[in-house]
Amino acid sequence: MKFSKESLVNVSRDLIVEERLRDSRGYRWVDVVGIPQRPDNLKDVLFLATHSDGKGGWDNGFDRRPYAREVAEKKGWSLAIDSEAELGSNDYVRVRSLDVLTERLYETARTEVSPYVIGVTGSVGKTTVTAFLEHLLSEAETGVVRFYSKRLTPLSVACHYINRVDRDTNVVVMEYSAYLREHVATLSRILPPNLAFMLNIYDTHINPGMFEDKSDIYASKLRIKPESSAGYINRRILEEIGAENPEGWESFSVEVPDSLTNFMLPPTLRTAELYTVGKLTAKNMGIPDQILRRAYETFTPVEKRMIVCNFQGRNIFFQGETSGGSRLWSWFETTDGSVPWFLVEEVNFADEDPLGFKDLLERVFGSERTYVLDTPANRERLPVKTNFVDFDRFREILTDVSRGYTVFHKALATRGKDFNPTAHLNEVYG
């Protein structure tokens, strides 16, 4: 939504220490933090010089204050700051707290527009499922916005909502992630879902100070659903942890869409969960079955989470994100009994501790169809035994056209803006 100078001042009047904003200025984008959906070449922007010490586990700490003046002078943006700074002749407002200012702008936006919210939580598959729901609702000609960032935080949720939700937005779809116990509950308080889904639970983030076991993770993610909202939980979760159906939730069993085809999706439980959640959403929102079927067959995974590459005339799935245990094991949990040929060029856990999901890694890297390129970095990073092979043997396995379902993993590769998985495979191994 757009904020005029007058509305901005009214919202923050008791917070303002100093104000030097032009009277004619209106703000079409309030840049609380950077998000992937921020358009290029923006004008009429209020840049908040936000900062974090990393406490609370939402981020690793950041500080936008050193760049504030440069942003103002190069882009012509106005500034909101909460500390003394030399800003020259640039437009700015200095307030006592940027966090409180953000909360008030968010509350104003929520008061103006309050769309239906669909929330998805789980250990793995959230991004792809929320993207599918966005696609499904778009196919049903429903105004929908999906909130996505590498890590959704209170600040990034506010930034998405303030800038991307308008009067044409009927539905917001968002994933609710837990890095610490209170995270899902906090996000649910900020943006309460009207309809909530819990996809799965895996031994992820089981480390000191994080989660103790699956039941601990389950209890954390259960807090996605407000008491008055509808919620669906995968029955498999309850069976694995020996829990009864939680009050206020309905359970579901995943359904494999055998009569539908989408070669962009692997034959895994994650795909079945995606389809089932889509079917339940369609039921709750009155979307006809033919639209659900069309949406499934025309869906392309987003954020480079799953990419299909054409390599020497056959399709290979490319996984270029982190080497997280649940993420990798998902390729092995197939609905047709197939076991992937799993070729790993590079292992990298980024900021995750692999000891928190060592059991899953042992399953993945202990498979007789898993082969890891023998490099010093891979040997150093991988905390479990596996089948290391040299480049020639690695290439020989990859180029054997007789092999079926194949997954290639090069950790963090797809985070590179210009990285092309298909070109990489053909240039290095073709």
In a domain, 338, yes or no: yes
Q: Are residues 81 and 136 in the same domain?
A: no
Closest by CA to 410, choosing from 274, 302, 316, 314, is: 316
pLDDT of residue 211: 83
Q: Are residues 322 and 405 in the same domain?
A: yes
User: Which amino acid, 200?
Assistant: N
Distance of CA 71 to the CA centre of its chain: 27
Q: Are residues 268 and 339 in the same domain?
A: no
In a domain, 342, yes or no: yes
C-alpha angle with apex 131: 163 to 232, nearest 5 degrees? 105
What is the full DSSP assignment across 20-77? E--TT-EESEEESS--TTPPTT--SEEEE--EE--TTSS-S-EE-GGGHHHHHHHH--
Domain CATH number, residue 139: 3.40.1190.10
Q: Are residues 177 and 274 in the same domain?
A: yes
In a domain, 103, yes or no: no
pLDDT of residue 212: 82
Q: Which two tokens stand for residue 80?
A: 């909101």
Q: Are residues 79 and 202 in the same domain?
A: no
Give the global pTM: 0.93
pLDDT of residue 409: 98
Domain C-terminal end among 34, 65, 96: 96
pLDDT of residue 374: 98
Q: How many domains does the chain have?
A: 3
Segments in 168-227 forming alpha helices (H)? 183-190, 214-221
Q: Are residues 319 and 420 in the same domain?
A: yes
Q: Are residues 271 and 354 in the same domain?
A: no
Segments forming the whole domain that contains residue 374: 307-429
181 vs 187: CA distance, rounded Å: 12
Q: Are residues 335 and 265 in the same domain?
A: no
In a domain, 106, yes or no: no
Closest by CA to 222, choosing from 239, 191, 197, is: 197
pLDDT of residue 208: 64
Domain CATH number, residue 84: 3.40.1390
Residue 230: in which H helix or E strand, if any? strand 230-234
Domain C-terminal end among 240, 266, 298: 298
Q: Are residues 318 and 276 in the same domain?
A: no
Q: Are residues 318 and 235 in the same domain?
A: no
Domain C-terminal end among 247, 279, 298: 298
Q: Are residues 262 and 165 in the same domain?
A: yes
Q: Are residues 222 and 356 in the same domain?
A: no
Each residue's pLDDT tens digit in the chain (430 positions)?
889 999 999 999 899 999 999 877 789 999 999 999 999 888 899 999 999 998 888 888 999 999 999 999 999 999 999 988 788 888 999 999 999 999 999 999 999 999 999 999 999 999 999 999 999 999 999 999 999 988 899 999 999 999 999 999 999 999 999 778 899 999 999 999 999 999 999 987 776 677 888 899 999 999 999 999 999 999 999 999 999 999 999 999 999 998 999 999 999 999 999 999 999 999 999 999 999 999 999 999 988 888 999 999 899 999 999 999 999 999 999 999 999 999 999 999 998 889 889 999 999 999 999 999 999 999 999 999 999 999 999 999 999 977 899 999 999 999 988 899 999 999 999 8
52 vs 151: CA distance, rounded Å: 14
In a domain, 105, yes or no: no
Measured between alpha carbons, how far is residue 416 from residues 127, 343, 350, 419 in Å?
A: 18, 20, 14, 5
